[in-house]
Amino acid sequence: MAKVVLQLGDDISTDIIYPGRFMATVLPTETPQHAFADHPEFNQRLRAGEIPAGSIILAGNNFGCGSSREQAASCLKGHGLVVVARSFARIFLQNAVNLGLPVVICPSVEAGEGDELEVTPTAVVNRSSGQSYPVTPLAPAQQAIIDAGGLIPYARARLVEKHRAAAR
């Protein structure tokens, strides 16, 4: 069970999650400091370590629209956050899968800041309201990347396989 620490509306762009002026920072060890930099209060709480790992960002439709910047996924992963949204934009969703940022697609979810949610593979249960909402599973192709531990190990296995085949 984890708490909703930030509630957001529809069409939250990657410029909101990770402003463009910090794009020269690329290392996953350095990007978390700029997460939600233009929400100074939330950014401050993240940086101060006041938000426990596993906490939930709750969003509406089209979370992560806009720029393809991968920092928007790596900065949230660095804080151990989980994103539950009604829907995600394509590139952000794929970046999250590739990097191992937990994302949950829950088209009908209703909750507010401070609510306690239990996330299972099939549902998001709002323990504060008692309501349960079905989860849309990730595409099998995306699940395969998650199961491999992310795109880097997934691609590494493919690379090794390709070289073995070529050597035969």
Partner 1 sequence: MGFTLVEKILGRATGQKDVRAGDVVEPRVDMAMSHENAALVLNQFQEIFSGTGLEPRVWDRERIAIIFDHRVPAESSKTATNQKKVREFVASQGITRFHDIRGDEGGICHQILPENGYVRPAWVVVGTDSHTTSHGALGAFSFGIGATEMAAVWALGRALNVTVPGTIKVVVEGELRPGVVPKDLILHLIGRLTAQGANFKVIEFHGPAIRGMSTSGRLTLCNMTVEAGATSGIVPPDAETLRYLHEEAGVREVPEDTLLSPDLDAHYQEELTVDASTLEPQVACPHSVDNVKPVREVAGTKVHQIVIGSCTNGRLDDLEAAAAILRGRKVAAGTRMLVFPASYRVYMAALERGLVADLLRAGAVVMNPGCGPCLGVHQGALGDGEVALATTNRNFKGRMGNPRSEVYLCSPTVAAASALTGAITDPREVN
**Binding interface with partner 1 (CB under 8 A):** 10-11, 13, 15-16, 19-21, 23-27, 38, 61-62, 65-70, 73, 87, 89-91, 94-95, 98-99, 139-142, 144-145, 150-152, 154-156, 158-160, 162-163
CA distance 131 to 34: 34
Output the smallest distance, CB 87 to partner 1, in A.
7
Strand segments, DSSP code E, in the chain are: 2-7, 56-59, 82-85, 103-105, 116-119, 123-126, 132-134
Structure token pair of residue 156: 């590494």
By beta-carbon proximity to partner 1, the closer residue of 49 and 166 is: 166
CA distance 30 to 32: 6
By beta-carbon proximity to partner 1, the closer residue of 38 and 113 is: 38
Residue 2, SS3 per DSSP: strand
By beta-carbon proximity to partner 1, the closer residue of 54 and 153 is: 153
Output the smallest distance, CB 127 to partner 1, in A.
29
